[in-house]
Amino acid sequence: MIEHRSHTYGVLGEFDTEHQLIHAAEATRVAGYIHFEAYAPFPVEGLSDALGLKRNKVPLITLIGGLCGGLGGFFFQYWCNVYSYPLNIAGRPLNSWPAWIPVTFELTVLGASLSAVFGMLALNGLPQPHHPLFNVERFCKHATTDKFFLCIEACDKKFDLAEAARFLQGVHANHVSEVHDD
Amino acid sequence: MSVGQPPLNSPEIRRLSPVLGPGHTYATVTDKIAAIVLTRPVSLGWLMGFGLCFTFVMILNIAVGWLIIKGVGIWGINIPIGWGFAIVNFVWWIGIGHAGTLISAILFLLNQKWRTSINRFAEAMTLFAVACAGLFPLIHTGRPWMAYYMFPYPSTMGIWPQFRSPLIWDVFAVSTYGTVSLLFWFVGLIPDLATLRDHAIGKPKQIIYGMLALGWRGSARHWHRYQSAYLLLAGLATPLVLSVHTVVSFDFSIAIVPGWHTTIFPPYFVAGAIYSGFAMVLTIAIPLRAAYDLQDFITMRHLENMAKVMLATGLIVAYGYFFEFFLSLYSGNKFDVFLVQQRLHGPYNHFYFALILCNILTPQLLWFRKVRTNVAMLFVMSLIINLGMWLERFVIVVISLTRDFMPSAWGRYSATVWDYATFAGTLGLFTMLLFLFVRVLPAISIAEMRELVAETTEEHQ
């Protein structure tokens, strides 16, 4: 039995509507669980609050990416056209910065967009080809279609297989099942 | 769904005209959209359409191949008309792309629910249009294999691009636009790719969609960051789309050629781009919804809203034409006045009159609800506007270049068969990519449709 427990990822409960999921997520948080996660086929309004999620780091990463793109882009043009390869065209000033604004702007947007997307993927730990939840057949069939799931993870200090399963049934979950880690 | 249906004409019903047909659940929207890709067999109509487009792509290959062998002399361009079809087509294609970004980004920021079912293929349209657009400046350089000179890279020759040149601005604007459009499109696709992975039957499909879905599993923490990233991308794409056509208009307005050197160009180019882009979205949406029974998702409300956007941007374009005309006369600059005369009475005046007919006069029919709710009329109208916007770029490029400052530098331009073949070829490439797209990726965002189902069921309760 103990051997078996070491391969448990968590306990998964299924819900029919997003309201049930929000309710269950709130109840799980109130019950003192910390390591649990909700799954939905579309972004559910209010779910982040129910899980107690704080503001994420994607906007900060995007801001940094945009600043790097813009400043890097501007000074790169300055360096190219003033120091490395100065071109004297009809005696115009080498530091003709207004002419560099279009490229600076484009590079700001490019830097910010790339960091928004790759920052989001990195924080989410994607790409991740396999996850224990994919061992659950009903999860694969319904999680990206029409059902809502809540998983209490085994790494939670409070976790006990039987108790967590009973808890999920108590918040009206259907098809409560154990998720294996292999 | 056509004119004459009395319910559509009553204002009470019209206010309720839905963005989603009745009776849909999470499972039905998923199945209906995913089935187009996963289970629906290849139809004869699709094969014939694809085959026809593929033929045009082969024509494009021949035209570009011959161009690479012989050089740009096979085209109708000459001195002084160095730009010709290549730049006309470039501006036309890039303008078409702009409606995709407008629908996906600006309407998203404005929280317009009706964008949901049209944003995915409008974004695909953007990508394919940018691909066609990017081809033209590339082959117009004459030596496309040297095009990498335009990018700043540490070369052994120790030279760097001239960043004060609109040509380099164009390179950065168009390549950034292409990259950001691709990112935006792909981020929107990730949850749907996961749906396809989970619904696909057979290993190859599961593996391909599985790899593209990056292991998405709909975790709430993931959605939380995903929504931030998507919102930020929309916020970034909005100024980007305005900047791209502004930079394209700088290609003209930075020059001193009469008819080009005006400050009205950036806003009037952007409005024109959105105008032609919405026309192209309609050109695609109308056959798409008929072919794949998507009337529940792309409803009359969508078509009517797009018609209204076309009418509004068309009026901005008309205002642009008027002020271009008025300011040339008001400036008293004899070259500008002469250019206006040339547009009205010169050798290419039939293009100018056709442009006014297509872009300003015909779209006034859109004031009538009967026209806006008539699918066939809208389709014809969208084709006319596409043609009109192409003529606009032709008038701008060719008339100005044929009537420069010195009569000794005047010239004439006529396109050759290779110009037409290349243009027709890119039309084929664009349509072929769309045909492939509707077969391999969901043409409507499934995750966003589920959100719409959740919102509409809540409204009914």
Q: In order of start, what are the domains of chain B with their CATH numbers?
A: 17-151+159-460 (1.20.1630.10)
Which residues from chain B sit within 8 angstroms of residue A119, using beta carbons? Answer: 229
Contact B173, B115 (CB under 8 A): no
Predicted confidence at residue A158, as pLDDT, reads 79
CB distance from A64 to chain B under 8 Å?
no
Q: What is the mean pLDDT of chain B?
A: 87
CB distance from B161 to chain A under 8 Å?
yes
B288-302 mean pLDDT: 84
pLDDT band at B157 (very low <50, low <70, confident <90, very high): confident
pLDDT band at A6 (very low <50, low <70, confident <90, very high): low
Domain ranges of chain A: 2-55+132-180, 58-123
For B215, the closest of A99, A103, A131 (CB atoms) is: A131
Q: Is the pLDDT of residue B232 over 90?
A: yes
Q: Is the pLDDT of residue A115 over 80?
A: yes
For A87, the closest of B162, B221, B451 (CB atoms) is: B162
B184-188 mean pLDDT: 92
Dihedral sign computed on CA atoms, order B168, B172, B173, B177: positive
A2-22 mean pLDDT: 77
CB distance from B127 to chain A under 8 Å?
no
pLDDT band at B68 (very low <50, low <70, confident <90, very high): very high
CB distance from B369 to chain A under 8 Å?
no
Quick one: closest CA in A to B188, which residue? A117
For B163, the closest of A58, A103, A130 (CB atoms) is: A103
Contact B450 A100 (CB under 8 A): no
A55-71 mean pLDDT: 94
Contact A58 B228 (CB under 8 A): yes
For A112, the closest of B164, B186, B236 (CB atoms) is: B236
CB distance from A19 to chain B under 8 Å?
no
pLDDT band at A138 (very low <50, low <70, confident <90, very high): confident
Q: What is the mean pLDDT of chain A?
A: 86
A111-133 mean pLDDT: 91
CB distance from A101 to chain B under 8 Å?
no
Helix (H, G, I), strand (E, B) or coil at A152: strand
Least confident segment among B16-30, B326-340, B446-460: B16-30
Predicted confidence at residue B175, as pLDDT, reads 93
Which residues from chain A sit within 8 angstroms of residue B216, using beta carbons? Answer: 126, 144
The burial class, CB within 10 Å (0-12 / 13-18 / 19+), for B424 is middle
CB distance from B245 to chain A under 8 Å?
no
The CA distance from B433 to B447, in Å, is: 23
Predicted confidence at residue B17, as pLDDT, reads 58
DSSP letters along A7-51, please?
Answer: TEEEEEEEESSHHHHHHHHHHHHHTT--SEEEE-SS--TTHHHHH
Dihedral sign computed on CA atoms, order A27, A31, A32, A37: negative
CB distance from B35 to chain A under 8 Å?
no
Task: Name the strands in the sheet holding A148-153, side by side, starting at the edge strand that comes first in the sequence.
Answer: A36-39, A148-153, A8-15, A174-180
CB distance from A6 to chain B under 8 Å?
no
Paired strand residues for A11: A152, A178
A148 min Cα distance to partner chain B (Å): 9
CB distance from A67 to chain B under 8 Å?
no
The CA distance from A18 to A23, in Å, is: 9
Dihedral Cα B370, B373, B374, B375, nearest 10 deg = 170
A88-93 mean pLDDT: 86
Q: Is the pLDDT of residue B51 over 90?
A: yes
CB distance from B152 to chain A under 8 Å?
yes
Q: Give me the residues of B, 195-214, that contact A with CB < 8 A.
A: 195, 197-199, 210-211, 214
| Cβ-based neighbours of B269, under 8 Å, separated by 6 or more | B91, B95, B245, B246, B248, B249
Contact B176 A144 (CB under 8 A): no
- Cis status of the peptide bond prior to A102, with omega within 30 of 0: no
The CA distance from B230 to B17, in Å, is: 28
Which residues from chain A sit within 8 angstroms of residue B152, using beta carbons? Answer: 76, 80
Contact A38 B219 (CB under 8 A): yes
Contact B281, B443 (CB under 8 A): no
Which residues from chain A sit within 8 angstroms of residue B227, using beta carbons? Answer: 43
Which residues from chain A sit within 8 angstroms of residue B448, using beta carbons? Answer: 42
Which residues from chain B sit within 8 angstroms of residue A48, using beta carbons? Answer: 220, 223-224
Give percent of chain B above pLDDT 90.
44
ipTM entry: 0.90
Give percent of chain A above pLDDT 90.
30
A23-51 mean pLDDT: 86
Which residues from chain A sit within 8 angstroms of residue B226, using beta carbons? Answer: 43, 120, 124
A58 min Cα distance to partner chain B (Å): 6
pLDDT band at B460 (very low <50, low <70, confident <90, very high): low
Predicted confidence at residue B459, as pLDDT, reads 64
| Cβ-based neighbours of B21, under 8 Å, separated by 6 or more | B295, B296, B297, B299
CB distance from A58 to chain B under 8 Å?
yes
For B228, the closest of A56, A76, A102 (CB atoms) is: A56
What is Dmax (Cα atoms) for chain A?
A: 85
For A117, the closest of B176, B187, B451 (CB atoms) is: B187
